[in-house]
Amino acid sequence: GDKPYICSDCGKSFTRSFTLRHHRFIHTGKKPYKCDDCGKSFLYSSTLSYHRRLHTGEKPYSCSDCGKSFTRSFTLRQHRLIHTGKKPYRCNDCGKSFTISSTLSRHRRIHTGEKPFCCGDCGKSFAHSSTLRYHSRLH
């Protein structure tokens, strides 16, 4: 579909202005939703809701094949693909296939060179949020 909303930092385009506004938080480092229990902040309110389950221990979604439990229904659906052996997400550049769409998205950065995670202290950019988190501890 049409994606008229374009990020001025990285060029990524979106169908809705709301989605672009939230995407911009990646570049600014702004995380407006804070956990009352531990103080950790999140980009999205839904992520905070799932995070709260770490404190409560709640994992309401269980795999009928292996019994593994998850905090999110989406994570269970992705997990179930492991049992089928299906890898429906294929990289157009190299042909490598993945079980989970987010893993393909992360992999694509190898080809694009995209580094969407920016350090608020020094401005250095990273391809993965985990690398930025590690880097931030060094400041």
* pLDDT tens, residue by residue, 55-74: 999 999 999 999 999 988 98
User: How much is the average pLDDT of 76-102?
Assistant: 92
> What's the pLDDT at 94?
98
CA-to-CA distance for 22 and 6, rounded, in angstroms? 12
CA-to-CA distance for 2 and 16, rounded, in angstroms? 10
- The single-letter code of the amino acid at 71 is T
CA-to-CA distance for 22 and 125, rounded, in angstroms? 18
> What's the pLDDT at 67?
97
Which CATH homologous superfamily contains domain 91-138?
Answer: Classic Zinc Finger (3.30.160.60)
Helix/strand/coil for 113: coil
What single-letter DSSP state applies at residue 127? S
124: left (phi over 0), alpha (psi -120 to 50) or beta: beta
Chain segment 24-38, per-residue pLDDT in tens: 888 888 888 999 999
**pTM assigned to the model:** 0.49
Chain segment 33-56, per-residue pLDDT in tens: 999 999 999 988 888 998 999 999
- The single-letter code of the amino acid at 19 is T
Give me the phi and psi of 118, to 5 degrees please: -110, 135
Task: Give Cβ neighbours of residue 51 (< 8 Å, ≥ 6 apart).
Answer: 35, 40, 42
- pLDDT confidence band for 8 (50 / 70 / 90): very high
